Structure formats: structure tokens, C-alpha cells
Amino acid sequence: MSSERQDEPTTLANETTTRSDDSVKRVAIYALILLITFLLGFGPMWMAARSRARERDSAQASLRVSGLQNSLANAAIDARRGEYEPARQAASEFFTTLQTEIDRGPASVFSELQQSSLRSLFDTRDETITLLARSDPASAERLSDLYVKYRAAIGK
């Protein structure tokens, strides 16, 4: 009998160890299933987010190009109407923003070819701003020419 009693604690210890091993395996399997489920949901969401980020970046680039065009068009219209100070401010804003965009280099919304064409617009910058500051009616024609050159440079 004493040998039977000695075997009982080892049998109970073995059963407890086996149960605890089974429960650890079960928890590991559940964790693995949960991880796989998470990754199955995360992958498509990540791809959709990247796609939307590219669309957003494209829209922002287009907006910067349009904003430049609008500020130059506003300057030309204001100069035609004889409102030279708002025209001067809009033209100055156009040249400053254009210079900033070109200085961005490869990160610019403009290609290298467009950037080289747009650099030629700076040749008449000081003269155009001076004409506007003097309220010279010739500045309206100059701004209109700049607008046409800008559109030709960006390909619109």
C-alpha cells in the first residue's frame, strides 16, 4: 500500500503539468489566431491608407499649382481694373511662392523641365513689381504675358 500512495503524488503532478501544458498551448494557439486575424484586417486597411495618402499628396500638389496660377491671374485682373496695390501684392506673392516651390528641387510639384521654363519668369519680376508700384497701366499687359508664359510652362 505504501507504494500506491507514493505513486499518487507523481501521478497528480504529471496530470497537473499536462493540464498546464495544454492550457499554455491553447493560449498560444488563441494568441496566434488573434494575431493572424489582426494582420488580415490590418493589411487591407494599410494599403487603403497608403492609396488615400497618395491621392491626398497629388491633390495638394495640384492645389499648389492652381494657387500660383490664381495669384498671378488675380494680379493681372487687379492691374487691368486699375487696382495696382492689390495687384502688386498678388504678383509679389506669386513670385515668392514660385521661388519657394522651385527651391524645393526634386520635391517640387514641377518637373525639371517646368522648373527651367519657370525660372525665365523671374527675368521680369523686378520690373513688373516696379511698374505696379508706380501704378503704370503697362503693368497689366506685362502680368497678362506672365500669365500666358506660366500656363505654357506648366502645360495647361
Cell (9 digits) for 95 = 513670385
Q: What is the mean pLDDT of residues 43-59?
A: 91
- Between 36-40, 63-67, 83-87, 113-117, the lowest mean confidence (pLDDT) is in 36-40
Q: What is the structure's pLDDT at 10? A: 59
pLDDT confidence band for 152 (50 / 70 / 90): very high
Q: Which domain holds residue 148?
A: 2-154
Q: Of 59, 79, 61, which Cα lies nearest the Cα of 71?
A: 79
Structural domain total, the chain: 1
pLDDT tens per residue, range 80-107: 999 999 999 999 999 999 999 999 988 8
* Burial profile 55-75: b = 16 or more Cβ within 10 angstroms, e = fewer: eeeeeeeeebbeebbebbbbb
**pTM listed for this prediction:** 0.70
CATH code for position 28:
1.20.120
- Contact predicate 76/143, CB 8 Å: yes
Distance (Å, rounded) from C-alpha 121 to C-alpha 99? 10
